[in-house]
């Protein structure tokens, strides 16, 4: 087994930090203009990549997702083209025609096969992609190596995020070579009506078996992006994809050895970091809420209960109001229906115990209010009935969320 | 089959309108005082009743619920004692001792068996019931016949509801006798922190087989209280109970005949009316939202999709902002995972079509904004792939909800 101590952070790193990857972005005018804005980006590998992905479970799906799913099903990719400002969703048959055309435009520009290009779109639902703009501006993207290039791509997928989210980590493989895993993501923040998507792209320069790449990504997503909640809604365009190109020359990763353990740790850390950053940047948010549930009968039970706490409107408004309202935490854990004994439950707010054996205990209210004033609030519940552990992340619910999301489109 | 045309509304009627039922309420000082406030109520039948009930699925349960569940399991009841201001929940072993004591106090006062008294509590979690107050004030309740008495009981269960919710309906049984079904409910509005409960009590003077009473109630609750959503949270104290005392002398109802059909219609109408009133009175609400889904493969699918639309924060903020944001409705229907074909979906706002075959159609924006200005907004989605029909109710999400629920307890 490996752990995070084997990993080194790459300062300023992101999705273009791994060897053999290039990226870039441009402002094409698909979304509202503004300083330092980008809305069309390319991610490119100088050689074939193994690819894995997880996608929205929504029955209404953007054709951009359909195209990317097909690439993942074939298992091999060379590039990603992503746009913000338009979701390419609920536009009838034209959506799939346009998504395939976008892949072809990127393929032509980069000199790769269109079947190896993932497509991602995020923005307004119900509006067709501006194909002329995409055709005109794709050639203007300066696809290149380096962290600045990765940052442009990270900015090109942003909608209402207040800042770009990216990270890269490195570890030493068993042959002494250096492996990099980097990524970027955009959040489910939805200031502009109809915008609602989580996108994440991860690249690595080690060589990875496709089945192992998919299982590693799926596990990491289960522990990260599936454990964040901003408003309980699921976009038509959600995509997490990982590309592995082997450019580092490190031993092939396929599970069961030390390199595989290090690789899995790196992918989990990248996913976890990006998921937490999305929760922290939820629209109108003042606090990052980390819900921890321990002592459950299973990890799955603990994750379910943690998700319920982080997602509860009553918990989220209480955190906003700096109110140590433990009854709402009990309610949120209990409504999941997981096994528990009420009289065994302990609850802590940023380390200060407020409930013991299912009942309130004497605590200094000012200390708890001060704890709730911190930008990060941890709500920890111990069920004391097993070893199950789970975490989930969310943000407080403020008036600003309501104001943002009730803005007129008309 | 029967239908609503067989039913007559009883003006000013409620839980004490059926023959042989009496009620009353008093202000005992369990909750904050105020004009026309009650916080302790009794409902009493002058003869034995068949009883059925549905209760919260939360793993954290008030011992008051535990006591009532035991009464329902035995199948026979004579009375209900209910208090607001204190949920009798998360108070350790004392909670069950107190709940049983409350039943005994009511039984002693009314001259019935304590095993036949249901107990209901709603209010702050984590605080013990003020037993001395309950002991002192229960004898002061003026238990009597009449609608005024029923209204007192309806007020005694209110927490943050802005008004009492009650209804009674009558129908003529096959022998010419008149049967009354009446009830009252309190909502899941939660202005005061820690308050979170839905309570509903229904009484009828016809004689009903216990199994049929339970199945009729369960079906009615599935179509009503299980289809409303104010904040997605489920209380530790939710209770819906029905008492049938046979005082009308009408033929026994046990399913399969015309009397049974009329009785079921009456119970469904009472539940539906009370559920809609709860949704309308959600805290901070400006609009009642009725989500209708038709043309689904099954009624269960349609109900699930309707619930998802009514519960979506993005739909609810859009209604508040008078924004005909159909992309959010598509997203909410799609995220349930029910079978659908996106290019067959039609969407209507208060009768005005805004989406045809999955795409926006030309409509007059001012007409739709005017429709969204109505106090009642119907969002109708036709999936055009079957006969499945479902409705759900909710309210818009406003800044007031956030302000109410983030108020300090400390």
Class of residue B139 by CB neighbours under 10 A (exposed 0-12, middle 13-18, buried 19+): exposed
What are the tens digits of pLDDT across the range B327-362?
889 988 998 889 999 999 999 999 999 999 998 888
Least confident span in A218-232, A274-288, B136-150:
A218-232
Above pLDDT 70, what percent of chain B? Answer: 95
Residue ranges, comma separated, of all CATH 3.60.70.12 domains in chain B are 4-280
Distance from CA of A76 to the nearest CA of B (A): 28
Mean pLDDT for A262-277 is 95
Q: For residue A59, what pLDDT band results from cuts at 50, 70 and 90? A: confident
Return the pLDDT at A192.
38
The residue whose two tokens read 């792209």 is: A201
- Reference B179, options B18, B62, B30; nearest CA is B18
pLDDT number for residue B160: 80
pLDDT at B227: 86
User: Would you state the pLDDT for residue B38?
Assistant: 97
Could you tell me the two tokens for A257?
């050895």
pLDDT beyond 50 at A211: yes
What is the per-residue pLDDT for A409? 43
First vs last C-alpha separation in chain B? 55
Taking the Cβ of residue A196 and every Cβ of chain B, the question of whether any pair is shorter than 8 Å is answered with: yes
Q: Is pLDDT of A149 > 90?
A: yes
Report the mean per-residue pLDDT for chain B.
Answer: 91
Q: What is the pLDDT of residues A358-379, one digit of tens each?
A: 988 888 888 888 999 899 999 9
C-alpha to C-alpha distance for A240 and A272, rounded to whole angstroms: 13
Residue A226 pLDDT: 86
Mean pLDDT for A150-179 is 95
pLDDT in tens, B93-143: 999 999 999 999 999 999 999 999 999 999 888 889 999 999 999 999 999
Interface subset of A 340-369, CB within 8 angstroms of B: 340, 342-343, 355, 357-360, 365, 368-369
Q: Which has more pLDDT, A312 or A1?
A: A312
pLDDT over threshold 60, residue A152: yes
What pLDDT shows up at residue A195?
Answer: 42
- Hey, which residues 50-69 in chain A have their CB within 8 Å of chain B? 57-61
pLDDT digits (tens, 9 = 90+) for A227-249: 887 666 667 788 999 999 999 99
- How far does CA B197 lie from the centroid of its chain? 10
Q: Quick one: which H or E segment has residue A224?
A: none
- Looking at residue A236, its pLDDT comes to 78
Is the CB of residue B258 less than 8 Å from the CB of residue B175? no
Q: Give B4-280's CATH code, choosing from 3.30.70.20, 3.60.70.12, 3.40.50.12280, 3.40.50.300.
A: 3.60.70.12
CA A19 distance to own-chain centroid: 22
The pLDDT assigned to B1 comes to 43
pLDDT at A190: 46
| pLDDT band per the 50, 70, 90 thresholds, residue A148 | very high
Which one of B90, B315, B383 makes the best mutation probe of the A interface by having the most chain A beta carbons within 10 Å? B90
Tens of pLDDT, residues A181-190: 999 999 865 4
pLDDT score of B402: 78
| Three-class HEC string of B143-182 | CECCHHHHHHHHHHCCCCCCCCEEEEEEEECCCCCEEEEE
Helix axis angle, B326-334 to B299-311, nearest 10°: 130
Q: What is the pLDDT of residues B131-181, one digit of tens each?
A: 999 999 999 999 999 999 999 999 999 988 889 999 999 999 999 999 999
The answer to whether B141 and B41 have CB atoms below 8 angstroms apart is yes
Helix (H, G, I), strand (E, B) or coil at B74: helix
Closest by Cα among B37, B21, B10 to B248: B21
pLDDT, position A234: 66
More confident: B294 or B58: B294
Is domain A288-405 given the CATH code 3.10.20.340 in the classification? yes
**CB-based contact (8 Å) between B88 and chain A?**
no
* Cβ-defined contact of A313 to B60 (cutoff 8 Å): no
Q: What is the DSSP string of A135-171?
A: HHHGGG---BSSHHHHHHHHHHT-SS-SS-EEEEEEE
Residue B195 banded pLDDT, cuts 50, 70, 90: very low
Q: Check CB contact of B1 with chain A, cutoff 8 Å.
A: no
Q: What is the pLDDT of residue B75?
A: 96
How far is CA B142 from each of CA A385, A406, B47, B122, B272, rounded to the nearest angstrom?
47, 48, 18, 21, 30
pLDDT per residue as tens digits for the range B242-264: 999 999 999 999 999 999 999 99
Instruction: Average the pLDDT over A165-175 and give the result.
Output: 97
Mean pLDDT for chain A?
91
Sign of the Cα pseudo-torsion (B146, B152, B154, B157, in order):
negative
Mean pLDDT computed over B26-32: 94
Query: What whole-number percentage of chain B has pLDDT above 90?
Result: 69
- Which residue among B122, B197, B216, B236 is the active-site one? B197
pLDDT band at B24 (very low <50, low <70, confident <90, very high): very high
CATH 3.10.20.340 residue ranges for chain A: 288-405
pLDDT of residue A126: 86
pLDDT of A232: 60
How many whole angstroms separate alpha carbon B355 and alpha carbon B372? 16
Residue B196 pLDDT? 53
Query: What Cα–Cα distance (Å) separates residue B315 from each residue in A43, A231, A406, B299?
Result: 34, 11, 9, 22
Name which of B91, B331, B369 is nearest A236 (Cβ-Cβ).
Answer: B331
Q: How far is B398 from chain A (nearest CA, A)?
A: 6
* Per-residue pLDDT at A230: 64
């Amino acid at each position: 087994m490996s752990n995070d101590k084997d990993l080194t952070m790459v300062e300023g790193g992101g999705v273009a930090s791994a060897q053999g990857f290039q990226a870039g972005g441009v402002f094409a005018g698909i979304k509202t203009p503004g300083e330092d804005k980008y809305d069309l980006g390319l991610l490119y590998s100088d050689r074939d990549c193994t690819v894995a992905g997880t996608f929205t479970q929504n029955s209404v799906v953007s054709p951009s997702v359909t195209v990317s799913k097909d690439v993942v099903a074939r298992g091999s990719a060379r590039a990603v083209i992503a746009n913000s400002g338009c979701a390419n969703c609920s536009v009838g048959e034209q959506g799939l025609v346009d998504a395939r055309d976008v892949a072809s435009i990127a393929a032509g520009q980069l000199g790769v096969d269109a079947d190896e290009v993932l497509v991602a779109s995020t923005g307004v639902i119900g509006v067709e992609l501006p194909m002329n703009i995409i055709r005109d501006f794709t050639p203007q993207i300066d696809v290149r190596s380096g962290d600045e290039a990765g940052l442009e791509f990270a900015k090109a997928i942003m909608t209402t995020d207040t800042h770009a989210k990216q990270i890269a980590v490195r570890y030493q493989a068993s042959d002494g070579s250096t492996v990099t895993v980097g990524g970027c993501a955009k959040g489910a923040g939805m200031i502009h009506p109809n915008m609602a998507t989580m996108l994440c792209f991860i690249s690595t320069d080690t060589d990875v078996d496709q089945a192992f790449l998919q299982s590693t990504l799926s596990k990491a997503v289960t522990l990260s992006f599936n454990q964040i909640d901003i408003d309980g809604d699921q976009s038509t365009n959600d995509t997490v994809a990982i590309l592995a190109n082997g450019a580092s020359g490190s031993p092939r990763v396929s599970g069961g050895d030390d390199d595989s353990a290090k690789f899995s740790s790196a992918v989990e850390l990248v996913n976890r970091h990006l998921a937490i950053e999305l929760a922290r940047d939820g629209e109108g948010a003042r606090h990052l809420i980390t819900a921890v549930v321990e002592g459950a009968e299973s990890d799955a039970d603990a994750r379910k209960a943690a998700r319920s706490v982080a997602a509860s409107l009553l918990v989220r408004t209480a955190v906003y109001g700096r109110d140590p309202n433990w009854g709402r935490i009990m309610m949120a854990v209990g409504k999941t229906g997981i096994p528990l004994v009420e009289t065994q439950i302990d609850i802590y707010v940023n380390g200060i115990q407020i409930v013991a054996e299912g009942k309130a205990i004497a605590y200094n209210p000012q200390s708890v209010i001060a704890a709730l004033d911190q930008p990060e609030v941890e709500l920890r519940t111990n069920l004391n009935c097993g070893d199950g552990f789970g975490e989930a992340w969310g943000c407080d619910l403020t008036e600003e969320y309501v104001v943002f999301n009730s803005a007129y489109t008309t």
